[in-house]
Structure 1
């Protein structure tokens, strides 16, 4: 898999950046466009490189402060026909599907973790679907609620925050979860309270709902499933496999548990509400812990930039700036 980088830096820094790019293992092409950038003034460097080598090159560019004085744009062409690109991929260590680009994961999880109106709307709708599935004993509605729920974004962001100590990202994710779930549960409780007098569902709906017993009966497998789902979800984010992420959505009972808490409290089933609340907590904790463990593992096995190389780049940066 070939990744394209567009790097904009001041003219005095472009020679060092070009040298880093050309010497990086896995680089297929490097193009320099002098004075191509107007705002800010500087040169534009385009690089085609194997995905496996992107993280190491980005570390070098961060040492050179390319982000601070210019910009780095990363894109992934759908198709690159080049013998040089094929050779670059073969020389790069590892496999592109397993390559972790920290900036990409941080940006993606950061975007998915913010408390926005769309996030809140999806969580409210998913919890309403779950509540309907619970009172009607409909497994299909509950599975649909799992698929609609957007909660994995903030959970993945919490994992990234823990693994990289990005506390601002963690605060945004915690806010999305801490506000989103209570609001969604409150609205689900309100609709349940309004629907019960209208006779839209029987008063003993929770007693007759054998298909939803798993929601308020947490056990060892609840945590095991959450851990497996958290690991699979983070791997799908890293490898950009959205189909696998959808499978994660419909394997954990976060949204159904939140909906069950709301319904059970309104109907006076406090013991079942407590069980589903515990189910919700186990799922949230298990997902975050497993996703963090995956990121820590990647961090340990990845090739870090040697300190000697970093010192040499800092020296080149000072020299280029005069």
Structure 2
């Protein structure tokens, strides 16, 4: 279940209470009159079922509560209340299947920002992948897969396409189109340094056996990307983040980027091209799968674009 908190001016108090009382999946409504300072007004809270969240938020936005005050949602891990459980039972659907659009949009927006932290994680993942390649170490490559932060922008792009949100799509594309070239360029520079001191050579790339799957691109690569992307999006919409680790290990986005940079610097252009193709296939497959999951799965009432602002 979710903890809903609404801060609104006093003149919206009755309208907000009316919304909460009309929804079957709402319990434990609290009103703190005059508790809010900015804006000057009231704090209203309630426990709501995930299945009812989209309808509740839609009606609150129709009151302009998000502009005149604030609407926040917090996931409740443990709720010991017969009244709350009865409200959840009355709500249509199952909590595990409930897609809360505002929650998903907020999460993907935060994870798709081109920040210094994002660039550092992506660069470290590419460097780790490069080391895994030149040492032919499967364990190191898997570590790079888990470390890579690229699924956030890919998920955001899927959400943006489904909900037709241009700003979110631009944010995700900037993170991907700027982040990967920077990470690959730094990997290439360090590869040049390694070649200059004699640590790396063309034979290093051609002797790879354990991790040669990185540049073996084909139809299976796209299928794996589709399955991993679908699993990743399901883990996001159902708030089961533990499944994301399996998603990261399934796809070869970061390893392909790192291998492409290493192979290009060392002069194996065939492997570099195949690794770049693997990267593209995985990125496209994950986004396509994310869109399909959002379009095809039962998700209650979608949020109209006018209500999302």
Q: 1:304 matched to which residue of 2?
A: 301
Tell me how far apart the structure 1 counterparts of residues 274 and 285 of structure 2 sit (CA, whole Å): 16
Unaligned runs of 5+ in 2: none
Q: 2:206 matched to which residue of 1?
A: 207
Question: Does structure 1 conserve the Cα–Cα contact (< 8 Å) formed by 2:99 and 2:300?
Answer: no
Question: Does structure 2 conserve the Cα–Cα contact (< 8 Å) formed by 1:181 and 1:258?
Answer: yes
Question: Does structure 2 conserve the Cα–Cα contact (< 8 Å) formed by 1:60 and 1:305?
Answer: no
TM-score computed with the length of structure 2 as normaliser: 0.95
Question: Does structure 1 conserve the Cα–Cα contact (< 8 Å) formed by 2:54 and 2:302?
Answer: no
Change (3 A) 1:214 1:306: closer
Cα offset for 1:306? 11
Tell me how far apart the structure 1 counterparts of residues 62 and 302 of structure 2 sit (CA, whole Å): 10
Tell me how far apart the structure 1 counterparts of residues 124 and 9 of structure 2 sit (CA, whole Å): 49
Cα offset for 1:120? 0.2
Question: Does structure 1 conserve the Cα–Cα contact (< 8 Å) formed by 2:54 and 2:301?
Answer: no
Aligned residues: 305
Cα offset for 1:5? 0.6
Q: 2:180 matched to which residue of 1?
A: 181
Question: Does structure 2 conserve the Cα–Cα contact (< 8 Å) formed by 1:138 and 1:211?
Answer: yes
Q: 1:38 matched to which residue of 2?
A: 37
Cα offset for 1:201? 4.0
Question: Does structure 2 conserve the Cα–Cα contact (< 8 Å) formed by 1:189 and 1:263?
Answer: yes
> Any idea what SS the aligned residue of 2:2 has?
strand
RMSD: 1.7
Q: 1:222 matched to which residue of 2?
A: 221
Question: Does structure 2 conserve the Cα–Cα contact (< 8 Å) formed by 1:32 and 1:44?
Answer: yes
Q: 2:168 matched to which residue of 1?
A: 169
> Any idea what SS the aligned residue of 1:210 has?
coil
Question: Does structure 1 conserve the Cα–Cα contact (< 8 Å) formed by 2:101 and 2:303?
Answer: no
2:87 is equivalent to residue 85 of structure 1: no
Q: 1:285 matched to which residue of 2?
A: 284
Question: Does structure 1 conserve the Cα–Cα contact (< 8 Å) formed by 2:191 and 2:200?
Answer: no
TM-score computed with the length of structure 1 as normaliser: 0.91
Q: 1:314 matched to which residue of 2?
A: none
Tell me how far apart the structure 2 counterparts of residues 77 and 224 of structure 1 sit (CA, whole Å): 36
Tell me how far apart the structure 2 counterparts of residues 27 and 182 of structure 1 sit (CA, whole Å): 48
Unaligned runs of 5+ in 1: 311-322
Tell me how far apart the structure 2 counterparts of residues 48 and 204 of structure 1 sit (CA, whole Å): 62
Q: 1:4 matched to which residue of 2?
A: 3
Cα offset for 1:221? 0.6
Q: 1:255 matched to which residue of 2?
A: 254
Hey, which bits of structure 1, 4+ residues long, moved more than 6 A?
A: none
